[in-house]
Chain A
Amino acid sequence: MLDFIPSLPIASWVDEAVKWVTNTFEFFFDPVKDNFGWLLDTTAEYLSMIPPVVIILLVAVLAFFMSGKKFGLAVFSIIGLLFIENQELWSELMYTFTLVLYSSLLAVVIGIPVGILMSKSNTAESIIKPVLDFMQTMPAFVYLIPAVAFFGIGMVPGVFASFIFATPPVVRFTNLGIRQVSTELVEASDAFGATGQQKLFKVELPMAKPTIMAGVNQTIMLSLSMVVIASMIGASGLGRNVLSALQRAEAGAGFVAGFAIVILAIIIDRLTQNLNKPNQ
C-alpha cells in the first residue's frame, strides 16, 4: 500500500558516513589506536606482573578503610580474588580491570563537564538529552561495527564501545545533582558576590557530589557489563573466556569466568558506593 515511497537507503547512507569518517579521520584514529592501545596493553601487563598476593592485600586494605573500618568487604575481597587466582583467571582479570578503568575514566572525564554544561543551559539540555537516550538504548552490539572500522580490533574499540554505553549516567546525574541544589544556596552564593566559577566549585559541585558519585558508580557498573560484548571484537579479559565457553558449549568454564566478573563487579560497586555518602 505504501509502495509509492521507495525504501529509503538509510543503511547505505550510514555505511557511506562511517567509511567517510574512517578515511577522513584516519590521521586521528590511527595514532589513538596505536598509542592508546599500547597504554592499555602495558597497563594490563604491568598489573599482571605484580604478584597477586600484593594486589589482594592492597584491595583488602582499601576495602577496610573505605567501608568505614569494617571487615565484611575486606574479607569478601580476599576470598573472591583468591578464588579468581585459584581458577587461573588472574591475568584475564587484570585485562578486564584495565578495560573498565580506562573506559570509566574516559566517561567521567568527559561526562562530568558535559553534565555541568547541561545543567547550566536549557538549550544544551534539550540537545544532549536525546543523544543520551540514543546512546543508552541503541543495542550495544551496534557500536561494535563502527568501533572496529575506526580502531580495528582489540582493546581500543572495546573501550570506545564501553565508553559510549557507560557515559550517559554520569552526565545525567551531574546535571540532576547541580539542578537540585536549593535555590536559597544558589542565591546565598550570588548575594555574597561569588562569580559563576566560584559558585560552581564552592557550592554547586560540593552539594551535587553525592549524586554525581552515584552516577560514577552506575557508569563503572555499565562499563563492566560491556566486558563480554567488547570481547567479541577482540578485547582481552574475562569476557573472552565467557565468549569461548559459549562457542564451545562449556557450561562450567562459562560459569567460572562469569562468576569472576560478578566478584569484580561486587568489589568495585561496594568500593565506589562508599564515595557517595551524603554530605554532613
Chain B
Amino acid sequence: MPVIEVDNLSKIFGKRSKEALSLLDEGLSKEEILKKTGCTVGVNRAKFQVEAGEVFVIMGLSGSGKSTLVRLLNRLINPTAGDVYVHDDNLSTMNKEQLRRVRREKMSMVFQKFGLFPFRTVLENTVFGMEVQGMDKEEREKKATEALELVGLGSFIHQYPSQLSGGMQQRVGLARALANDPEILLMDEAFSALDPLIRKDMQDELMDLQEKMQKTIIFITHDLDEALRIGDRIALMKDGSIVQIGTPEEILMNPANDYVEKFVEDVDRSKVLTAENIMMRPETVDFDKHGPRVALERMREQGLSSIYVIDRTRQLKGYVNADDVLEARNNQVTSLKEIIKNDMPTVEKETPVQEIFDIIHDSPVPVAVTEEGKLRGIIVRGTLIAALANVNGNGVEDNA
C-alpha cells in the first residue's frame, strides 16, 4: 500500500495549457509544444508510487522539472492534469480547507535556501507549523525543543537564523519539518546550498534520523553522488519526464536509455576534462592581511569548514580549519601562520579529471588547483561528479 501515488501528473506553464496538454498526449516533444503554443512543459505525465518509510530521490539537472514535481505533491503549484493520492485521498480534487489539513498534518517541506523567517528565533521558526494549527504554546514549544535536540541544536534555540552557519540553518529547517511528526517529508534540494563537506555530514545525519523515524521522504537533488548515497529508489528526470525509476544499483547497472547511461558513466569526459575545466572559485584568506576573525567570518558566510590561505601574490600557503581557527581566536592568536596546515591535495591546472578521483577520495579538504604555485581554484567532490553527469558537453553546470 503506497503512501503517495502519482498518476499521470502534468504541469504546463502558459496560457494555452489545455491545448498544450492534448499535444503532449499526441506525443509532441517539449520543444515542439513550446514552439506551437508558447507553453512550457514543467512535468510530463509523471507516474510513480512511494512506499512507507522509503527515501525516494528525484534527480535531474536544472530545468528538468524536479522542483516543479515536488511542488505538485503538496500543491504549492496546481497541476494541469493528473492526480496525487496520499493514502486514498486525492489532493488534486481537495478544497482549500482539506488541502490545508493535509499540509498541516501529513506532509512538511524543507527548502533549498532553508526558508527560515529571519525575524523569528530558531525556536519560533520551529514552532511555525504547529502555531498555525493553533496548538497551545507550551505543547508546541516542547515539541519544537525536542525536534531541535534531535538535530543537535538544543542550545541554539534563542538565536536568530542569521547567527547560524548554513549547515545549522538547514538543521533548523529540518527540525521545523519534523517537529509536528508528519508522515511525509518533502526535501527540495535541501543540502544543495551547503558546502560539500557539510553536505556529506547532513546526508549521514539524515540517514541516521531516518533509521529512527522511518518517514516517507521525497528528496530532490541534482547531485548524483547524493542521490546514490541516500536514495532507496531514484527517479531520473529529463525535460519534465521521468526517464527511469530504480534502485541505485539498477540505475548504475542497467541504465534505461542513453541519457541515463551518459549520466552515470561518462568515462570519456573524464579523460578530456582537466582540473581547470571544473574548478570553482576558491574562498581564501591572505595571511599577510587577515587573522582568525576574518577567516572565521568568511567560513561562516560561505558555510565552509576549512579555508585556503594565500599570500599577497596568491601563492598557496596551506589551509586552516574551523576548529583550529576558533581555538586560535579564543587564545588571542592574531596570525594564521601558527595554525596553518600543509597536507592538502594539490593538482596542476592541466591534470586530467580522471586522476583527481583518486586524490579527492579521502581528502578532508577540497583539492587545490595551482599554476606555478599560485592558487587558481578548488575542486570538491560535487563539482567532479556533476562535471561527469553533465551530458551536453558544453561546460560544467553552474550550481553543482
Question: Is B115 interfacial (CB 8 A cutoff)?
Answer: yes
Known: A191-B108, A209-B119, A280-B119. 11 other contacts (CB 8 A): A184-B111, A184-B112, A184-B113, A184-B115, A185-B115, A187-B109, A187-B111, A188-B128, A192-B132, A193-B103, A280-B160
Q: Which residues of A contact B (CB under 8 A)?
A: 182, 184-185, 187-195, 198, 202-203, 206-207, 209, 279-280
**Interface pair B104/A193, CB less than 8 Å apart:** yes
Q: State A44–B261 Cα separation when bound (angstroms).
A: 81
Task: From known contacts A193-B132, A193-B133, A202-B131, infer whether A188 and B100 are also in contact, taking CB-CB under 8 Å.
Answer: no
Please name all residues of chain B whose beta carbon is closer than 8 Å to the beta carbon of A198 when the two chains form the complex.
132
Q: State A206–B160 Cα separation when bound (angstroms).
A: 15
The number of chain B residues with a CB under 8 A from chain A is 29
Q: List 11 A-B contacts (CB under 8 A).
A: A184-B112, A184-B115, A185-B117, A187-B71, A187-B115, A190-B76, A191-B109, A193-B102, A195-B132, A202-B131, A202-B132
Chain A residue nearest to B97 in the complex (CB): A195
Please name all residues of chain A whose beta carbon is closer than 8 Å to the beta carbon of B104 when the two chains form the complex.
192-193
**Interface pair A203/B115, CB less than 8 Å apart:** no
Q: State A145–B339 Cα separation when bound (angstroms).
A: 77
**Interface pair A187/B76, CB less than 8 Å apart:** yes
CB distance from B117 to the nearest CB of A (A): 6
CB distance from B294 to the nearest CB of A (A): 23
CB distance from A194 to the nearest CB of B (A): 4
Please name all residues of chain B whose beta carbon is closer than 8 Å to the beta carbon of A185 when the two chains form the complex.
115, 117
Please name all residues of chain A whose beta carbon is closer than 8 Å to the beta carbon of B306 when the two chains form the complex.
none
**Interface pair A194/B132, CB less than 8 Å apart:** yes
**Interface pair A192/B108, CB less than 8 Å apart:** yes
Q: Is the interface of A mostly helix, strand, loop or mixed?
A: helix
**Interface pair A188/B109, CB less than 8 Å apart:** yes
Task: From known contacts A191-B76, A191-B109, infer whether A279 and B129 are also in contact, taking CB-CB under 8 Å.
Answer: no
**Interface pair B117/A203, CB less than 8 Å apart:** yes
Question: Is B277 interfacial (CB 8 A cutoff)?
Answer: no
CB distance from B199 to the nearest CB of A (A): 19
Question: Is B74 interfacial (CB 8 A cutoff)?
Answer: yes
Quick one: which of B101, B111, B112, B119 contacts A193, CB cutoff 8 A? Answer: B101
Chain B residue nearest to A192 in the complex (CB): B129
CB distance from B86 to the nearest CB of A (A): 14
Please name all residues of chain B whose beta carbon is closer than 8 Å to the beta carbon of A279 when the two chains form the complex.
118-119
CB distance from B237 to the nearest CB of A (A): 20
Question: Is B162 interfacial (CB 8 A cutoff)?
Answer: yes
Task: From known contacts A188-B111, A193-B100, infer whether A280 and B118 are also in contact, taking CB-CB under 8 Å.
Answer: yes
Residues facing A in B272-314 (CB within 8 A) are none
Chain B residue nearest to A190 in the complex (CB): B76
Please name all residues of chain A whose beta carbon is closer than 8 Å to the beta carbon of B102 when the two chains form the complex.
193
CB distance from A120 to the nearest CB of B (A): 15
